[in-house]
């Protein structure tokens, strides 16, 4: 019986099986190559998407930074406008000292500006602009890179002039200084304080943007 079954498989049948086996091997190799290529394409596209996302994130960060700078300039403009109105109520001698000190700040003559504002505070210690003078002294220190002096000055303003129209800006500025020093926990504490104590101020909008990042 076994011999009869063997005899049934002719050489042509074996050749046909070999051909089918070779075809399957070829097909498998082809599929393996296609799968490998798909993996390469997928990896490449993933890399491209990651690069595009990184680019978009960078542009978004730049836009947020530009928006923050614009808002800060608007805040400064609003505060300077308030200064102009209050200067009129100061006696002529003190007014000249204050305006000269502020002009030096604008020009970038920070040491001269600090000296001028300090002189003003000696001449008119009880005036409505004493807190403003102290604020601009802090801004001068900040512009000079003397961050600790700036923080100390802003804190002096906050403690000595609790009703100052510069208080919200001083608190926000301290947050900025700590943020730049990478002390983010402390920075967030000051940003939260601005939002809580001055919810309707321009500084609260800026602080909120910082907290939502």
Its domain, for residue 84, covers: 71-211
Assign residue 90 the CATH number of its domain.
1.25.40.10
pLDDT over 80 (residue 181): yes
Q: Looking at residue 3, what is its pLDDT?
A: 45
Residue 12 resides in a domain:
no
Confidence at residue 125, expressed as pLDDT on a 0 to 100 scale: 87
**Residue 97: per-residue pLDDT:** 92
Half-sphere exposure (Cβ direction) of 37: Cα atoms closer than 13 Å: 6
pLDDT at 2: 45
The pLDDT assigned to 72 comes to: 55
DSSP 8-state class, residue 90:
S
In a domain, 168, yes or no: yes
Phi, psi torsion values for 53, nearest 5 degrees: -65, -40
Distance CA 166, CA 125 (A): 17
- Establish if 8 belongs to a structural domain: no
pLDDT of 78 strictly over 70: no
User: Do the Cβ atoms of 68 and 209 come closer than 8 Å?
Assistant: yes
Examine residue 88 and state whether it is found in any structural domain, yes or no: yes
Show the CA angle centred on residue 180, arms to residues 67 and 187, nearest 5°.
90
CA–CA gap between residue 165 and residue 80 (Å, rounded): 11
Residue 4 maps to a domain: no
Domain assignment of residue 200, yes or no:
yes
What pLDDT, on the 0 to 100 scale, is given for residue 162?
94
Q: Check residue 58 and give its pLDDT.
A: 58
- The pTM is what? 0.61
Tally the domains of the chain: 1
Domain membership flag for residue 182: yes
Rounded CA separation 159/151 (Å): 12
What mean pLDDT, rounded, does the chain reach? 79
DSSP H or E stretch at residue 172: helix 167-180
Q: Over pLDDT 90: what percentage of the chain? A: 52
Does any domain span residue 169?
yes
pLDDT tens digits, 80-137: 444 655 665 668 888 899 999 999 999 999 999 999 999 999 998 888 899 999 999 9
* Cα–Cα nearest to 75, from 170, 185, 177, 209: 170
């Amino acid at each position: 019986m076994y011999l009869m079954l063997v005899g049934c498989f002719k050489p042509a049948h074996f050749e046909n099986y070999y051909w089918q086996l070779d075809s399957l091997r070829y097909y498998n190799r082809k599929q393996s190559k296609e799968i490998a290529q798909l993996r390469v394409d997928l990896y490449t596209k993933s890399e491209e998407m990651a690069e595009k996302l990184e680019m978009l994130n960078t542009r978004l960060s730049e836009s947020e930074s530009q928006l923050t700078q614009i808002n800060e300039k608007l805040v400064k403009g609003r505060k300077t406008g308030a200064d102009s109105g209050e200067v009129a109520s100061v006696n002529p001698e003190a007014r000249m000292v204050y305006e000269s000190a502020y002009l030096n700040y604008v020009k970038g003559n920070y040491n001269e500006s600090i000296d001028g504002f300090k002189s003003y505070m000696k001449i008119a210690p009880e005036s409505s602009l004493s807190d403003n003078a102290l604020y601009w002294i802090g801004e001068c220190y900040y512009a000079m890179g003397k961050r600790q002096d700036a923080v100390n000055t802003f804190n002096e303003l906050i403690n000595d002039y609790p009703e100052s129209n510069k208080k919200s800006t001083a608190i926000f500025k301290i947050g900025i200084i700590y943020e730049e020093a990478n002390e983010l926990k402390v920075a967030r504490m000051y940003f939260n304080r601005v939002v809580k104590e001055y919810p309707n101020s321009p500084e609260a909008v800026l602080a909120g943007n910082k907290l939502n990042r």
